[in-house]
Structures are given as structure tokens and as C-alpha cells.
Amino acid sequence: MIDPIFRAKAPLRISFCGGGTDVSPYPEEKGGVVLSATIDKYAYASLRPTETGMLRVTSLDFDLTREYPLGRPIELGDELDLIKGVVNHFQFREGADPFPSGCDIFLHSDAPPGSGLGSSSTMVTTLVGVIAEWLRHPLTPYEIAERTYRIERQELRLAGGRQDQYAATFGGFNFMEFLADHTVVNPLRLRRDTLCELEYSLLLCYTGRTRLSAHIVENQTRSYREGKDAVVSALDEMKRIAIHMKGLLLRDRISEFGEMLHQAWQHKRNLDAAISTPQIDELYQAARAEGAIGGKILGAGGGGYLLVQAPFEAKHKVARALEALGGEVVPFAFEGRGLQTWIARG
């Protein structure tokens, strides 16, 4: 008999507006909102039970394999801390049961950490999903997202927001509301023509550089706590624009959506000086010169992927200008499904 292999995948996301308003303490004090959609780029996890009594982790993204004994918390301090945090959570939180056996875990993602597509949180979501499947722990989508958030932000104390965990778990086009004591994910019922036209008008360009988002988020949070007017005003405006952009999509006003994407980017730049760089500015200005309506750097900023919206007659010129400056235009499509788990038996 062939032993089963437990598998999971979850989609990465593009965030159109509102990122930053999901970072504490803004949601608790004012309520945050994010408009985002998942795309056909994924984080993957496979888990094979073993009789070794060891945890063996292979990460294709970091090109390494590590082994750890089970039965005691795994010490943190390297690239695999997110994975260790998930394993420690399942084994040693209050009321947890030990793993029934050792296991081999294999992980990989379609985008590198620090890309701005939420790849780190999506990987944690995927790992939570595959371990829950193995342990036969039924969890609702909200429970998975909340558990992933708890692992990253509370147990590992990594700076960041709430949107990525919910986007990866639920999938699709969502308007998410982050409140003091709960989160509400509102799936948007957009017309098929609207989705197709928006997808057709967007370009995803890899800048060739990744970044550590935690430092940017920490600076933004510090500035907000200190009451710096530029940061508080930028977050308030991004919240307002996200609500407006949702309405534009529901009314099929794609060009106006792009114009608001441009406005949102101008406000996002005010959150921290490290959000944009001379390279990002050059790419964005070149895209605008060729007819792009709007755009923004995805994630916390500083590198990763640039999202640009352009009318169909200018899209090819915008792509050519971005690639002439060293950018890599990456094809993508919207993905309506969130976290998926399954069992491979042979």
C-alpha cells in the first residue's frame, strides 16, 4: 500500500488599495479596508508522514533542507522561522496534540519572498492547511486565516497586516473590512465583462528586486503611533479610495478605476520614504509616458512587483518601455479559488 501524501496550494494576491490600513493599531482605532484579488500564482506544500520521528523540511525557495527532532519546540533564528512557527503552533499551543509521526514537508512558491504578492503569508496559510488536513482538524476559512495571522503576528511577532492571510484562504475578488475584534470578507460579485476587461488592462512587472517588508511596516506603524500627519492622512485617504474603487468596479467603470489606482499610489508613497525607489519611480514614469492610466508597487513597497493599468491600445507600448528598463512583464490571470487541500494516494 502506498502511503498518502497530503498536499495544499493557495493563491498569491494583488492588492489594489487599502494596504496599510490592515496594520495594527489602525484597524482597532479606525477600521481598515482592503480591495484585493487573488491570481494564478501559488504557494504549494506537500506533507508525507514518516516513521523517523523527525521533521524534514525542504524549501525550494531557499534551496535548502533541514531536519528537526519532534517532541520539543524548534528553535527559531533562520530562513525557515515561518515554517517552524507553524509546526510549534500545532504541537505546543495550549491543548495541542503531538504529531502522530514524523513527516517530510516540501514547500515552493511561484514568487519569491519579498515580492509584494503576499508570498510569505500565503506559504504559512498553505502549511496550516496541509497540516490541518493531515491531522484531520476541520477548520473554517475564517479559522485558518485567523490562525495564520496569530502565528505570524502574535507568536512570531513579525510586523505586517491582516490582508494576506484572508486573501490566500478565501481567494477571489474581495473587499475586506478589518475591525477591532473581527474581520469581514465581502466577495464582490463582479460582471464577467468587468473582470475580463480589468484583467486585460493590467500589467504585472517584476522589478528584479525583493525587499524585507517588515522594516517598512515597522516604520509606518511607528509614524502612525506618533501621529505624524502625513502618514495618518495617507492611511485615511487610502481607506476612502479603496471604498470608492469598489464602487467603480461594481459599476463597470474601469478607466476611472485606473485613475484612482494612480491616486492611491501617490498617497501610499507618503507612508514611508522606502516604499518607492529611484528604479520604481523610473519604471512607473516610463509606463505613464507611454499611456498607463495608473499603477502602484505591490505589498509594502521597496521592490517586488509593479502593477500597471493601461488602455488596450497602449498596453504593448507600456510593456515594451518597462522591459527596456529591465523590468520583467509576467502574465497572470485572476483566480477565484482560495486555499485547496487534497490527498495523493499514488
pLDDT band at 211 (very low <50, low <70, confident <90, very high): low
CB 26 within 8 A of CB 236: no
Active site residue 164: yes
Report the alpha-carbon distance of residue 86 to residue 273 in Å, rounded: 33
Cα 267 to Cα 70, 249, 270: the distances in Å are 47, 20, 5
Choose the CATH number for 192-329 among 3.40.1390.10, 3.30.70.890, 3.20.20.80, 3.40.1790.10: 3.30.70.890
Q: What is the pLDDT of residues 141-171, one digit of tens each?
A: 999 999 999 999 999 999 889 999 999 999 9
Share of the chain above pLDDT 90, in %: 82
Q: What are phi and psi of 95, to 5 degrees?
A: 80, 5
At 268, the amino acid letter reads: K
DSSP state of 173: E
Cell of 58: 525542504
CB 144 within 8 A of CB 169: yes
What residue spans of 61-107 are helical by DSSP H? 81-92
Domain 5-188+335-344 CATH assignment equals 3.30.230.10: yes
Mean pLDDT of the chain: 93
Report the alpha-carbon distance of residue 169 to residue 262 in Å, rounded: 28
Same fold, 5-188+335-344 and 192-329: no
Cα 130 to Cα 15, 37, 156, 331, 338: the distances in Å are 25, 23, 20, 28, 13
Among residues 164, 181, 252, 281, the one annotated as catalytic is 164
pLDDT score of 215: 77
pLDDT band at 214 (very low <50, low <70, confident <90, very high): low
Domains of the chain, by residue range, sit at 5-188+335-344, 192-329
